[in-house]
Amino acid sequence: MPFTEPVKPNEPLEMVRRIARIAQMLLDMRSEYERRQRPDLLLQIQVRAKELYELSQTLDKPAEAPPEQPSS
């Protein structure tokens, strides 16, 4: 299945999904780093951890209110 950009990339659900993907990558990199402690892999872990932190900061911001449904 090809990757498609979400309709609303800053929507909380999409942000949580991105966080989950990064968290899984970090787990995989940790396992690899335990086998072989390579400096480039450690750098990649640091980059992903920073990205995860930045995403967590955006979740702290109040979410936009969803558009109101017209009354029928």
The pLDDT tens digits for 13-61 are 888 899 999 999 999 999 999 999 999 999 999 999 999 999 988 887 7
pTM (global) more than 0.75: no
User: What is the C-alpha to C-alpha distance for residues 64 and 10, in angstroms, rounded to an integer?
Assistant: 10
What are the structural domain ranges in the chain? 12-60
Structure-block tokens of residue 24: 């899984």
Label residues 18-47 b or e (16+ Cβ within 10 Å = b). bbeeeeeebeebeeeeeeeeeeeeeebbee
Residue 8 has which token pair? 């609303």
pLDDT at residue 72 is higher than 70: no
In this predicted structure, the answer to whether residue 5 has a pLDDT above a threshold of 90 is no
**Is a pLDDT exceeding 60 seen at residue 65?**
no
